[in-house]
Amino acid sequence: MDTRLHPTALASDLDAQGPLGELHAALRAVLLPLARLAVAQGLPYAQAEALLKLAFLEAGREAHGGHAQRAVSRISAATGLSRREVTRLLQRPEGDPPPRRSPATELFTRWLSDPALRTPEGRPMALPRQGPAPSFESLAQAVTRDVHPRSLLEELCRLGLAELDAAGETVHLLRETYVPQGDLVRMLGFLGANVGDHFSAAVANVLTDGKRHFEQALFADELSGESLEQVRRLVTEQWQALLTALVPAITRLIEEDRAAGRAQDQRLRIGLYTYTDAMPAASGSNPPSPPSDQEN
């Protein structure tokens, strides 16, 4: 049986109308950046296809409950994968467990967001390297007892987030955002975690009542490059305010759950992003469009 895609059939599928056409358009918008990443990193199509098969398998298993080891036929019907392929994939060893959060980045976030560690002007305080709170040592021990404060300090310095003064007594933060430029492993880790959760939230909203996860966006066009620089500064300020308000509140909730003996089996990710690009065509003499909300 010939399973290759014929150009005419492919064109017909991609030109579908109605909800199916909208689904195709949404998938193209999502898959193109992924394809760019794969091409840029030298990942061939065959390996990307293998990952897509595993994703379809997992989605099929979820749709039929648990691992669904006896549901080969149902998974095959739901995904379009052959029964033989489903069986082969189900027999694969389980993958590696997801990586744990970095204690260094958690310490960095705590330092930025804890009101007790900020100056009257609202900037992060320089901290004594050792001693009682407030100090770098006490902050590090509040984050984890599994990693020595010295090791966490060395990691923050390696990442360009902090530095130790010449006397070796005081630690200073160098930045107020963490974008690990030049560290491909961490950047890919952030991409998978942040975009994966954002996409999961959007899909869950589409497949349910649209209210399960908070997910909204603001869209505007006809801006100049100079205006975008001002917007970037505004967004950075708003993110810092949000971080300062949320981290202590969430930390308190975690402690209250622990004290009350509640099952602590839920996770949370809150994000904010901006994306800028050239408009697809000249705007001509049309008046500027006001910003508009977009949501699922």
* Band (3; pLDDT cuts 50, 70, 90): very low
CA distance 89 to 49: 13
Question: Looking at 22-31, 68-77, 152-161, 219-228, which range is the least confident one?
Answer: 68-77
- 31-59 b/e (C-beta count within 10 Å ≥ 16 → b): eeeeeeebeeeeeeeeebeeeebeebbee
Kindly report the CA angle at 178 between 175 and 179, in degrees rounded to 5? 120
Domain borders along the chain are 7-90, 103-173, 186-295
For residue 161, pLDDT beyond 80: yes
The label of the residue with tokens 């398998």 reads 57
Least confident of 101-110, 156-165, 191-200, 226-235: 101-110
Q: Can you state the percent helix, strand and coil of the chain, rounding each to 5? A: 55, 5, 40
What residue type is 276 in one-letter code?
Answer: T
Least confident interval from 84-88, 102-106, 219-223, 272-276: 102-106
Which of 154-168, 176-190, 238-252, 269-283 has the least mean pLDDT?
176-190
Q: What pLDDT does 8 receive?
A: 44
Single pTM value for the model: 0.62
Q: CA angle 191-294-286, nearest 5°?
A: 115
pLDDT of residue 10: 46
Do β-strands 216-219 and 170-173 pair in parallel, antiparallel, or remain unpaired?
unpaired
Whole-angstrom Cα distance, residue 161 to residue 182?
Answer: 13
pLDDT in tens, 229-270: 999 999 999 998 998 899 899 999 999 999 999 999 999 999
State the average pLDDT for the chain. 82
Tell me how far CA of residue 291 lies from CA of 54, 217, 222, 234, in angstroms: 40, 10, 10, 15
What distance in Å separates the CA atoms of residue 218 and residue 78, rounded to the nearest whole number? 35
**CA dihedral angle for residue 182, residue 188, residue 191, residue 193, rounded to 10 degrees:** -130
Residues in contact with 217: Cβ distance below 8 Å, sequence separation at least 6, in sequence order: 293, 294, 295
Tokens of 28: 């193209």
Check: CB of residue 114 under 8 Å from CB of residue 103. no
